[in-house]
Amino acid sequence: MEDRFRVRVDAGAGAVEVEGPESFVREMLDRYSAVLGRPPEVRASVRRARGKRPKSTGAKEAPAPAPAAKARAVRVEVDEALQHELQQRAGDLHAYIEERKIASQTEEAAIVAAFLGTLGYGSMNEAQYVTALRVLGRRLPKNPRQVLIDAKNKKQYFFEDGSSFVLSHTGTNFVEIDSLKSKDAEGES
């Protein structure tokens, strides 16, 4: 029986182990060295394998956790008709926004939905939300739909109607009462 040899290459956790006859292991080592761009000194890591393989404990190793997925920016189309309408009423929109305190994107979404309600829109979808933000010259969120979902789930400002979001009583109260800048605060500054 031919002697068995083993090689282990750990290229940044991309570990490769090869076991077999010495000629086979050396051939694999040469291939991996070329692919990994390793210098010939790696060949010194070839060592004689022990007579027997280590016994398995029977327990399976837990797989490594998958890396966390990064949020990807989502492309949302602009509502052309709404954009034209908002550009004509840009002064009204800016005044409506300036009357209110905005501490988060979820609050901003509720305020935009309320303004769209004054224009006759009963609900707001993500394209309309993005259109209003563009007309306002505001920074767009990475995922506008997620902002609307957070405003619905965390703040209860909306409820969903298909793919649109309708301002709830909580959202209406926030926009009409809670978000208004007080007249006293403006006089003091």
Residue-level pLDDT at 26 = 75
Torsion of CA 76, 82, 83, 88, to 10 degrees: -160
**Do residues 42 and 9 make contact, with C-beta atoms less than 8 angstroms apart?**
yes
The full set of domains in the chain, from first to last, is 4-48 (no CATH), 80-188 (1.10.10)
Residue-level pLDDT at 136 = 92
Residue-level pLDDT at 181 = 86
Residue-level pLDDT at 189 = 44
| pLDDT means over runs of 10, the chain (189 residues) | 64 64 74 59 48 56 68 75 93 93 94 95 94 93 93 95 94 95 57
**Do residues 83 and 133 make contact, with C-beta atoms less than 8 angstroms apart?**
no
List the beta strands (DSSP E) in the chain.
4-9, 16-21, 47-48, 158-161, 164-167
Residue-level pLDDT at 40 = 43
The predicted model scores a pTM of 0.59
For the chain, the straight-line distance linking the first and the last C-alpha, in angstroms and rounded, comes to 91
Residue-level pLDDT at 187 = 47
DSSP state of 176: I
Integer Cα distance of 189 and 186 in angstroms:
6
- Tens of pLDDT, residue by residue over 149-177, are 999 999 999 999 988 999 999 999 999 99
